[in-house]
Amino acid sequence: MTLFHRRVFCALAGLMFGAAQAALGQDVTLKSADGSVGLSGKLLDYDGEFYRIETIFGEMTLRALGVTCTGHACPDPGQYAADITIAGDRDALNDLLPPLIEAYGFATGQPTLRRDQVPDGWTYFVASPSQVPVARIQAQPGDSATGLAELAHRETDLVVTSRPAASGEIRAARIGGIGDLASPFRHQVLAIDALVFIVSPENPVRSLALDDIAQIYAGTIRNWSEVGGIDAPIVLLQREAGSDANRAFRRNVFPGDVPLSPVAAREFGSDKALSDAVTADPFAIGFTGFSGIRNAVPLAIRGTCGIRQRPSRFGLQSGDYPFARQKYLYTTQRRLPIFARDLLRFLASRRGQDAVTAAGFVSTAISTQSFGDQPDRVSNAVREAGDVSLAALQGFVRIFSDAARLSPTFRFDGNLIRIDQRSERNIATLARMIELGDFDGRELVFAGFSDSQGSATGNRRVSRQRAERVADAVRAAAARADLSKVRITVHGLGEVSPLACNDTESGRWANRRVEVWVR
């Protein structure tokens, strides 16, 4: 933090919690948080993270977090408090980050105090259990592109985005001297969200084709009766131009090969405001993030073959819903203050992901869904059976009828068997669960599926190869596990169970996958 920022924060923190002075070379006593353990000695150094003292046992270094210092020589921790700025996606900064910061404070016993800024943003002050200033966190809401540019120019410490950093943004960071050439940014997946289309509960329409949505927002479909609804004009609502949500809408509904463009629609500055407006108007349609559905009704995306892809928590975690979007948390390669590092670890932990769920977003934690809770699987398999034999359909039901699907799902481009970055994370998570004994005495089923391109025999072969590749990768990653306690089986089922129509590349991509089931 700059000297100016430190002085400003010290002044604010001093008003809240008081201050002290440091004097190196004098005696201090360091005690554990509960006061049961104490250590006295001459203070040699304090850098905001660690105390270094000379004791009767020799020179010792103790982490400051959880330690109380007593004595005239004790430093003022406020002078070393972390000053952190977070920029990026407005929705995540306003709707997701505040409850996560408060959850971190509750979990660690560190009180948090929020101050809203005008016209936008907020500041959190965080203190230790003994009321010593620990951190000031300032939000600078905007969008993903602006936040990454600020990070590349060292104008912020953390950035929340609704998409991965683009190659041009990575090049800008390298030019700016951020990090090394291989990886100028570090990142972790904070949560999962999605682009979701919503209508009022009074509207009978429950699914739309993507082409219908494009024509509705292009103004060529203007009445609900044209898409199976009542005879009433369609009211268009959308997120504000320039927002990450609006960019996601245009990218998915009006890509470069679509000869349409959206017409003017009533704009809203937040998912909450848009969702409430849609709920109150039976003739309206709008789009939000998954966390912004509230009392509105989310629409399923209907393919030309009749398969419906529904927005659900499991569908977002597994990637089955086509417009799922991950929320990323980016920083640079430089060493962050200890508070920031602890906060990032908390956000990636199970407790942090529980807080993500409580905030209305979808966590990255593994979830399960029983075969009985997936009624569309059988109907889709029958509808799109094609050259699939009755025996293959029966085998599909027999394999999974008494099992539950895990949310980690592995997808592939074309006939490739290469595992992507998201799949690598899923492999690490599954391996960790195996090492912890979560599947002891149970069977893990790795089931490969394909699109409908090519022969049935070839599709079964390549889908099994993919399933074997994933199963082998999980075994290798679970190096500390006793694999004799877990039964691992592999199946290659080809095109037997499509999750999307096979007449588009996006649908075929959704169908080329390896699922993991447990019984």
292, two tokens = 């912004």
3-state secondary structure 424-483: HHHHHHHHHHHHCCCCCCCEEEEEEECCCCCCHHHHHHHHHHHHHHHHHHHHHHCCCCCH
More confident residue, 258 or 475: 475
95, two tokens = 């709707």
* pLDDT band for position 417 (cuts 50, 70, 90): low
* Contact by Cβ (8 Å): 515, 412: no
| Phi and psi based region of residue 470 (left: phi greater than 0; alpha: psi -120 to 50; beta: remaining) | alpha
Question: Cβ neighbours of residue 21 under 8 Å, at least 6 residues apart?
Answer: 72, 75, 76
pLDDT tens-digit readout, 38-82: 999 999 988 777 899 999 999 999 888 778 899 988 887 767 788
- Average pLDDT across the chain, whole number: 88
pLDDT tens-digit readout, 419-476: 666 777 889 889 999 999 999 999 999 999 999 988 888 999 999 999 999 999 999 9
The pLDDT assigned to 17 comes to 39
What residue ranges define each of the domains in the chain, with the CATH number in brackets? 20-75 (2.30.30.520), 194-318 (3.40.190.10), 366-518 (3.30.1330.60)
For the ranges 43-47, 90-94, 136-140, which has the lowest average pLDDT? 43-47
* CA 32 distance to own-chain centroid: 35
> Is residue 106 classed as helix, strand or coil in its secondary structure?
helix
